[in-house]
Amino acid sequence: MNISVVTRGGLVGLVFGLVCLTGCPAPQGGAGASSGGGAVADRGASPQPGAPARTATAKAEDVAAAQKLLDGLGANAKHTLLPGDVLTEIVIQDGSLLTAEDIGLFGKLADLETLQIYNFRELNDEMASQLAGLNNLRSLALTNSVVNDPTVEMIAKSFPKLTDLDLSSNTNLTNSVLKVICELGRLQRLTLVQNRFNDLGTSHLSKLQNLQFLDLRGNMEAGDMTMQVIAALPKLAALKHRSTAVSDFGMEYLAGSKTLESLLMHDFAVTGQAGEHLAKLEKLTQLEVFRCQGFSSDGLLAIKGMKLSRLTLRDLPAIDDMGMEVFTELPELKRLYLHELASVSDTGLQNLQSLKSLEVLDIWTVPQMTDAAVEVIAALPNLRELSIRSTDVTDAAVDKLLAMPNLQSLTFKENGNVTAEGLKKLAGKKWSKLDVGETETGQTASP
């Protein structure tokens, strides 16, 4: 297995293997980050074993025209065509090249079960109305457009089978339209990022008794009362929310959830008391706390003993070395992301030694971290993926990293005290992935 090392002089080496783990939202290039890239069309997907062969409902010429259009979009588009020319899925990541005629064509593809069109800013109510005949839709995304409430009313009336709906960044939608959305009682996933919904609108979420995933990030006025409604949803397993209107009271409401397994809390106006409420979420296994300025070390210590498998702490100025003691009692933690923690030093990072089950560690912009912390990390027996960026480590850390027997993937860059020679030395080991960024000399490290 060769190594791909990026230098200012160019990219050298062939990558025969790539470990690519999907993690929580993180700065590009870190451990567990998605590789990105465009979606790939699946033109010959087989039906489930034992399933009867399907007969296309859409006209052959419409299916052929749609295929030609989607092929022209390249990696920006994905579609699934089953035997018999049954077109069941269209996903377009950037709809900026689409036209009203294209939407009309999609509206003729009666076999579609998934239609996801992201970032089509020109999409309006008149265009969207052409989709009303797609009564087999289970998954629909229409984002970053200029549609208004009538489009949502059409969706609720025309697509009763929907289980997955994404209407993010449609800022023309009014607060009252949430009542219409919540008439879709089969919804299991609802994504409403960067809309303008508040507590009054989100009160209708209580009708979604089958909801399992909810993303409300950027609805900045959806606060404590929203959390009270969410906590009562009987099947909700995952919540993502960004709002400065959520306080400790909102977290106290959320603590009543009996089903929540994954939580992203972003920009919440909480204090250390929020940790006590988090500790009551008995099923929580994944937690991200991002830019909650008042969330302190006391709050972090309150989650000791939780059965977390993944934890992200990002941009938390009130978290210091004392808070790092939480790692002494998180025995099931497998993935840890420590980002933008200016008050954490080697003293706190010594507590990483307790994380014997840790497999993925991503440290970014922890400026007080030095080689002493790397020595602790190097002793973690199950670590297989590591990212260290923007720290105060030096070349002395390199030998410790090379001696880690189970480490397969390493990102080691933007550490100002590490020399080009130190980075070059890392290429002496076979990795599934090695990213050392740019070197000052332009030299390329090779195995």
Task: Tell me how far apart the alpha carbons of residues 47 and 82 are, in angstroms, rounded to a whole number.
Answer: 7
On the question of pLDDT at 9 being above 90, the answer is: no
pLDDT at 5: 40
Q: How many angstroms from the chain centroid is the CA of residue 239?
A: 12
How many CB atoms lie under 10 A from the CB of residue 57? 14
For residue 144, CA distances in Å to 149, 220, 327, 445 come to 14, 17, 40, 43
Q: Are 254 and 230 in contact (CB under 8 A)?
A: yes
In the predicted model, what is the mean pLDDT of residues 122-139? 98
| Stronger pLDDT, 149 or 15, i.e. the higher one | 149
Residue percentage of the chain with pLDDT more than 90: 85
Q: Residue 7: its pLDDT value, please? A: 38
- What stretch of H or E contains 72? helix 60-72
Strand residue runs (E) in 83-225 = 86-92, 114-117, 139-142, 164-166, 189-191, 213-215
Question: Is the model's pLDDT at 239 over the cut of 70?
Answer: yes
Looking at residue 290, the DSSP 8-state letter turns out to be E
Q: What is the mean pLDDT of the chain?
A: 90
User: 39-43, 271-275, 360-364 — which is least confidently predicted?
Assistant: 39-43
329-380 pLDDT, tens digit per residue, is 999 999 999 999 999 999 999 999 999 999 999 999 999 999 999 999 999 9
What is residue 50's predicted lDDT score, i.e. its pLDDT? 60
What is the predicted pLDDT for the residue at 27? 60
CB 203 within 8 A of CB 229: yes
Nearest to 188 by CA among 222, 209, 214, 211: 211
Query: Is pLDDT above 70 for 146?
Result: yes
Contact 229, 206 (CB under 8 A): yes
Pairwise CA distance, residues 354 & 357, whole Å: 9
Q: Mean per-residue pLDDT for 104-133?
A: 98
- pLDDT confidence of residue 175: 95
Q: Note the maximum CA span of the chain.
A: 67
- Give residue-wise pLDDT tens across range 422-441: 999 999 899 999 999 964 33
Residue 19 has pLDDT above 60, yes or no: no
pLDDT score of 445 more than 60: no
Whether 299 and 325 have beta carbons less than 8 Å apart is answered as no
Topology given in CATH for the domain delimited by 37-47+56-196: 3.80.10
pLDDT attached to residue 53: 74
Mean pLDDT of 127-151: 98
Report pLDDT for 30: 74
Q: How far is CA 278 from CA 218, 259, 260, in A?
A: 21, 13, 11
For residue range 72-95, what is the model confidence (pLDDT) as tens digits?
999 999 999 999 999 999 999 999
Beta-carbon-side half-sphere exposure of residue 388 (alpha carbons within 13 Å) = 25
For 182-191, what is each residue's pLDDT tens digit?
999 999 999 9
- Tokens for 338, please give them: 């420590």
Average pLDDT over residues 211-230: 99
Give pLDDT tens digits for 256-267.
999 999 999 999
Half-sphere exposure in the Cβ direction for 16 (13 Å, CA): 4
pLDDT at 390 exceeding the cut of 90? yes
What confidence tier does 29 reach under pLDDT thresholds 50, 70, 90?
Answer: low
